[in-house]
Amino acid sequence: MKLSNMVGERFKERPSECVIDSHAFSVRGGYIKYVANGIYSLYPPMKRVTAKIENIIREEMDAADSQEVLFPVVLPGSLWEESGRFESVGEELLRFKDRSDSSMVLGMTHEEAAVQMVREWGNTYAKYPFSIYQIQTKFRDEARPRAGLIRVREFTMKDAYSFHTSQEDLEKYYDVMANSYFRIFERAGIPEVISVKSDSGMIGGSVSHEYMLLVDAGEDSIVLCEDCGYSANMEAADTTVDNSGCAPAAELKKVHTPDCKTIEAVCTFLGSKVEESCKAVIYQKNMTDEYVVVFIRGDYEVNETKLTNLLGDKVHAAVITEECGLCAGFCGPYKQEAKCQILFDKTLEGIENLCCGANEVDYHYTGLNIKRDIGDVEYVDVSKIRTGDICPCCGKKTIKISRGIEVGNIFQLGTKYSKSMGMTYTDVDGSVKTPIMGCYGIGVGRLAASVMEAKHDDYGPIWPITIAPWQVHLCCMRPDNEDCKTAADNIYKELQNAGVEVIYDDRKVQAGVMFADADLLGVPVRVTVGPKNIANGQVELSTRDKSVKTLVALDDSVKEIQALIANLYAEINSKVRERIQ
């Protein structure tokens, strides 16, 4: 392709709405066009990148014996009613009525469609196991789209669904898919992706993992142990604390604490440690408005995903009224008489001398011993794990919190969808059973943007050769110079004839503009044809990452370019693990 003909503009200024680099480069480099909040059109460079990512995904899914299918974008609401998700999923699911007044949805995920496709066909054990996948447009009505293609409302996603007759068979295939996912990311040039234990969320299932690319601009908090290799999403990491060094038991006393409504103010007033305090975080359940009071160590925060999973209902910050019986700012567990659900977080376990609210304005207790003063309570884990906490795996105080972007996820679904939607098969002994499912997703556009976020410098993306929009960027510095233009034209034709993907900058622009655009397009190999070097029978060959910069003979240029491309592919492929079957 000639750059002079390519649709889309590139420009120097960073858009003010772009908070992360990949979003800024996507806009500046002519990759995406804003259409509506969280909805973008893709210009040719990004379309070429995503097409290459899709090809890698297809090759790996096919190698894992998954068969490509295609589900509708628009689905009848009745399918989601079968699974129970039509009502349980929140506003992210876009619901509407068609002209016949039938309930319809825009597919945000396709578990229901997958079951509907195969439930009659998969009626005998002889058909199992099998796996199907699609690469399709989806719509999730995100409340706060951000960061360009990282978090959008409309997106392209690969989702696969496997069906099995035993948990053991599902686990075996789950490992195959886990390996395939690592291969996809390694082939896309980001071998640093890690797998972390995750919360299954609305998808459901007992086991799930997310694939995280660790970058500072990531929107997810990842819990890591550098000592034993433990990794988990913040929502799935168990919090364990050591309270062995706390103050010994003391007499329970009620203390006047005027205007001390925060745990920090109370501890400052009393001269006590925040680590030996008990604070109340008050919520209401979304469905019933029932009050839920979480008592937690003063220096910890509630993990609302853990809380939601425990309660089986989403929550919101409570509106404290006079009738509810809760004393805002002075709420405590001792002699708590309000009508509410009370939870004790495990961060309080083992502390024998706590300060806490006295359920009376301007008063707190000191010396609270939960076991002595309240009795035996059940401790639950609803807190956010922190840097320096105890690793749930090795037991050492080595936890570190990093930021990451989720680039894929896999789930062991069990029978959540197959059972609710009436999918059964006849087993070898004639009994009727329900198949067990797994599902596996990768957002194509998000993966492209994530690679850009991880692989860039101050001037633009540095695309891995495997997913770069083109393999070679050919720059003709002086198209008005006959020798220069003739040499560049000939290289362009020879590269095309050799099957090399090349973008040819044939424009009459200043060198600074040409090189700035080349940086924004991020093509791995650059060939610069200038009059001075042509006079010496040479062209400049370089790489976008600046690891290579050399002069090669004009007559050997195509051969040298092909060799450099081969080396770049070999470097990436050397980091790709073997497939497992």
Model confidence pLDDT, tens digit, residues 49-66: 999 999 999 999 999 999
The token pair that represents 490 in the structure block: 């000939």
pLDDT confidence of residue 200: 52
pTM of the model as a whole: 0.87
- How high is the pLDDT of residue 342? 94
Band (138; pLDDT cuts 50, 70, 90): very high
548-574 exposure pattern, b = at least 16 Cβ within 10 A, e = fewer: eeeebebeebbebbbebbeebbeebee
Identify which of 117, 107, 120, 33 has the alpha carbon closest to the alpha carbon of residue 73. Answer: 107
Q: Is the pLDDT of residue 201 over 80?
A: no
Whole-number percent of the chain with pLDDT over 90: 80
* Mean pLDDT score, 181-204: 82
Q: What is the pLDDT of residue 287?
A: 87
CA pair distance 514, 530, nearest whole angstrom: 12
470 neighbors 523 (Cβ within 8 angstroms):
yes
DSSP H or E run through 494 = helix 482-497
Q: Write down the pLDDT at residue 206.
A: 64
Tokens of 45: 């460079």
pLDDT over threshold 50, residue 564 = yes
Banded model confidence at residue 202, pLDDT cuts 50, 70, 90: very low
State the average pLDDT for the chain: 93
Q: How far is CA 58 from CA 174, 293, 484, in A?
A: 17, 49, 41
E strand or H helix at 571? helix 557-573
Which amino acid does the sequence have at 504?
Answer: Y
What's the rounded mean pLDDT across residues 158-176? 96
Q: Closest by alpha carbon to 11, among 453, 517, 468?
A: 517
Please compute the mean of the pLDDT values over residues 109-135 and round it to a whole number: 97
Under a CB-based contact definition with an 8 Å cutoff, are residues 446 and 150 in contact?
Answer: yes
Residue 490 is which amino acid? Answer: N
Residue 240: what residue type? Answer: T
* Helices H / strands E in the chain, number of each: 15, 31
Q: Note the pLDDT of residue 237.
A: 86
Inform me whether the pLDDT recorded for 375 exceeds 70. Answer: yes
Instruction: Please name every residue paired with 543 in a beta bridge, in sequence order, or none if there are none.
Output: 525
Give me 87's structure tokens: 């009502």
Q: Three-state SS across 521-535?
A: HCCCEEEEECHHHHH
Break the chain down into helix, strand, coil percent, rounded to 5.
30, 30, 40
Give the confidence band of 205 by pLDDT, cuts at 50, 70, 90.
low
Pull the structure tokens for residue 511. Answer: 């060198």
Confidence label for 392 from pLDDT (cuts 50, 70 and 90):
confident
More confident residue, 259 or 464: 464
Confidence (pLDDT) at 221: 85
**Tokens (6 digits) for 462:** 């540095």
Cα within 13 Å of Cα(497), Cβ side:
8
| pLDDT above 60 for 481 | yes
Tell me 47's DSSP state.
Answer: H
Q: Band the pLDDT of 203: cuts 50, 70, 90.
A: very low
Tens-place pLDDT, residues 325-334: 898 889 999 9
Residue 168 sits at φ, ψ, to 5 deg, of -60, -40
